[in-house]
């Protein structure tokens, strides 16, 4: 049982009876739990609750809400109140809020913010110009800066006054040129050590000038990979001319990774990714997001029926042959699904590169042969368990299995690589789509092997009928 579920009804009651009393009650609760409570309330009640709180108390709650909740809530509030709360939010969260509001409302909030906090409004405009999936949209413009000629004492005072403004950890001091270019970085840790021996020495010799940075248009997932790889807690975002635009901190990366992973899993599962959690997605949105793919896969499976019908002469001649089709094609689908998820995930984490494609192809070919031979052996004896079946048919099933598993492994591995090469997200080659493709391939392999292996049985059947 979550605390929010227990508290929400009480708070709903107090809100109706004595709204003033709510404020004290809320001071003791962690903002994350408060955000849970706000999620449980109706939007108009939540708006009332946040409206009663000072903006610096409401902002941390608002920041923690899901995007669709922020939107619903903002629509219930006056643009002035939203602007006041926005002025207390971290710059990156503020830019996110701006990007989800309906355009007209966003303009209203922005013009109100312009009055309350002109600098915040300016920052909001700057961050909002980058794509939602770009590094620029994830960066905060709150960080500590200095000049190389500043003394350690001056830098330390900058850290102190920054600490008073925000509640986020301070990792580094960024030394800028007069025109705002990033010249070097010194960590707070190093500054603390250096302060011991001499507060009046300049920052300059402490600076790391060989730092790693990212451009503002880099994809957030790529930024996440680099920060994980190089163990960087705060990544500077730098423009082409060297200007420092902002900083991305490691805690935002955790959210990026989780969201990216959810999207990938949903694509692999064969649907449009949801933007909101399962229970917040409307029934209609589900039908749309699932229906489109389900329909596409259904229509692509029509080809299995067309192919089977086309080979009616073969399948009618070998009584019971058609009953083996689901067994055979599923072996292809399963091996293809294994290969494609391996490659999709490898591409996502960077362990697999596009240029490795031929190594992958060889490997998957080898694996297909070995795995296929394994299944073929079992399939062969399975068919022989039925006394009415020819040994030739058992051999047909076995040979077809090797071909089908090889096709599954190679197609399953190569399709994600091809899609990435074409600039499409490889997760979109979702496992079910690969399965449909391999189902048809599997039928063609099976029937063609049968035509060769059992030519006499087929001819005899055709003569009789």
Contact 272, 262 (CB under 8 A): no
Cβ closest to its own copies, residue 122 vs residue 251: 251
Contact 262, 66 (CB under 8 A): no
Site for its own copies in 174-193 (CB under 8 A): 187-190, 192-193
What number of residues does the chain have? 465
Give the phi and the psi of residue 390 in degrees, each rounded to 5. Answer: -70, 155
Site for its own copies in 197-226 (CB under 8 A): 212, 224
- Residue 465 interacting with its own copies (CB under 8 A): no
Q: For its own copies, which stretch binds (CB under 8 A), given 101-109, 120-128, 132-140, 378-386?
A: 378-386
Cβ closest to its own copies, residue 196 vs residue 240: 196
Cβ closest to its own copies, residue 2 vs residue 115: 2
CB of 129 to its own copies, least distance (A): 26
CB of 264 to its own copies, least distance (A): 7
Q: For its own copies, which stretch binds (CB under 8 A), given 68-76, 99-107, 131-139, 167-175?
A: 167-175
Cβ closest to its own copies, residue 25 vs residue 370: 370
Q: For its own copies, which stretch binds (CB under 8 A), given 71-79, 176-184, 215-223, 246-254?
A: 246-254
Structure tokens at 67: 């995007």
- Residue 254 interacting with its own copies (CB under 8 A): yes
Q: Supply the DSSP string of 129-148, one letter for each residue.
A: TS-TTBHHHH-BS--EEE-T
Partners of 151 in beta bridges: 202
**Nearest CA to 53 among 12, 90, 21, 23?**
23
Cβ closest to its own copies, residue 128 vs residue 404: 404
Burial of 378 (0-12, 13-18, 19+ CB in 10 A): exposed
Among all chains, which residue has been given the structure tokens 């107090």?
14
Contact 148, 119 (CB under 8 A): no
Query: Can you tell me the distance from the alpha carbon of 214 to that of 256, in angstroms, rounded to the nearest whole number?
Result: 16
Q: Given candidates 99, 304, 448, 451, which one binds its own copies under the rule CB under 8 A?
A: 304
Q: Given candidates 346, 403, 416, 426, which one binds its own copies under the rule CB under 8 A?
A: 346
- Residue 334 interacting with its own copies (CB under 8 A): yes
Q: Given candidates 50, 59, 155, 253, which one binds its own copies under the rule CB under 8 A?
A: 253
CB under 8 A, 24+ apart: contacts of 47-53: 47/73, 47/76, 47/77, 48/15, 48/19, 49/11, 49/15, 49/22, 50/77, 50/81, 50/85, 51/77, 51/81, 52/19, 52/20, 52/22, 52/23, 53/23, 53/26
- Residue 374 interacting with its own copies (CB under 8 A): yes
Query: Can you tell me the distance from the alpha carbon of 30 to that of 9, in angstroms, rounded to the nearest whole number?
Result: 18
Q: Given candidates 48, 308, 361, 444, which one binds its own copies under the rule CB under 8 A?
A: 308
CB of 456 to its own copies, least distance (A): 23
Q: Given candidates 102, 177, 291, 421, which one binds its own copies under the rule CB under 8 A?
A: 291
Cβ closest to its own copies, residue 20 vs residue 358: 358
- Residue 265 interacting with its own copies (CB under 8 A): yes
CB of 206 to its own copies, least distance (A): 13
Cβ closest to its own copies, residue 135 vs residue 405: 405
Site for its own copies in 144-163 (CB under 8 A): 159-160, 163
Site for its own copies in 71-90 (CB under 8 A): none
Torsion of Cα atoms, 445 then 446 then 447 then 450, to 10°: 120
Q: Which helix (H) or strand (E) holds 461?
A: helix 455-464
């Amino acid at each position: 049982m979550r605390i929010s579920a227990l508290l929400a009804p009480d708070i709903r009651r107090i809100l109706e009876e004595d709204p003033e009393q709510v404020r004290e009650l809320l001071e003791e609760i962690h903002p994350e739990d408060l955000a849970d409570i706000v999620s449980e309330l109706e939007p108009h009640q939540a708006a009332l609750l946040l409206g009663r709180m000072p903006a610096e108390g409401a902002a941390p709650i608002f920041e923690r809400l899901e995007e669709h909740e922020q939107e619903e809530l903002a629509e219930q509030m006056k643009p002035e109140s939203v602007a006041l709360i926005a002025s207390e939010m971290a710059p990156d969260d503020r830019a996110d809020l701006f990007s989800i509001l309906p355009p007209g409302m966003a303009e209203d909030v922005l013009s109100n913010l312009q009055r309350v906090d002109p600098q915040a409004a300016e920052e909001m405009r700057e961050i909002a110009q980058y794509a939602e999936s770009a590094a620029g949209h994830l960066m905060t413009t709150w960080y500590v800066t200095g000049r190389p000629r500043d003394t350690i004492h001056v830098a330390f005072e900058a850290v102190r006054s920054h600490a008073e403004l925000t509640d986020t950890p301070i990792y580094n001091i960024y030394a800028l040129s007069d025109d705002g270019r990033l010249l070097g970085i010194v960590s707070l840790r190093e500054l603390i050590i250096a302060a011991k021996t001499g507060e009046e020495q300049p920052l300059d010799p402490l600076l790391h000038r060989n730092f790693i940075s990212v451009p503002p248009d880099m994809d957030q997932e790529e930024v996440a990979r680099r920060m994980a790889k190089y163990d960087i807690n705060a990544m500077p975002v730098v423009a082409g001319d060297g200007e420092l635009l902002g900083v991305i901190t490691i805690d935002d990366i955790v959210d990026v990774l989780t969201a990216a992973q959810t999207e990938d899993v949903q694509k692999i599962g064969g649907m449009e990714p949801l933007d909101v959690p399962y229970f917040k997605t409307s029934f209609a949105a589900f039908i749309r997001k699932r229906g489109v793919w389900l329909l596409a896969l259904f229509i692509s499976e029509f080809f299995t029926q067309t192919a089977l019908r086309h080979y009616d002469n073969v399948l009618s001649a070998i009584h019971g042959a058609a009953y083996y089709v689901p067994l055979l094609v599923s072996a292809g689908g399963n091996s293809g699904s294994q290969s494609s998820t391996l490659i999709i995930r490898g591409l996502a984490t960077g362990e697999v590169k596009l240029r490795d494609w031929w190594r992958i192809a060889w490997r998957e070919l080898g694996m297909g042969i070995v795995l296929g031979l394994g299944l073929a052996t079992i399939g062969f004896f399975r068919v022989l368990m039925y006394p009415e079946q020819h040994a030739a048919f058992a051999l047909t099933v076995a040979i077809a299995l090797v071909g089908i598993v090889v096709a599954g492994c190679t197609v399953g591995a190569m399709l994600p690589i091809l899609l990435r090469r074409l600039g499409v997200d490889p997760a979109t080659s979702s496992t079910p789509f690969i399965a449909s493709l391999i189902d048809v391939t599997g039928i063609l392999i099976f029937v063609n092997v049968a035509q060769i292996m059992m030519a006499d049985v087929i001819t005899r059947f055709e003569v009789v009928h």
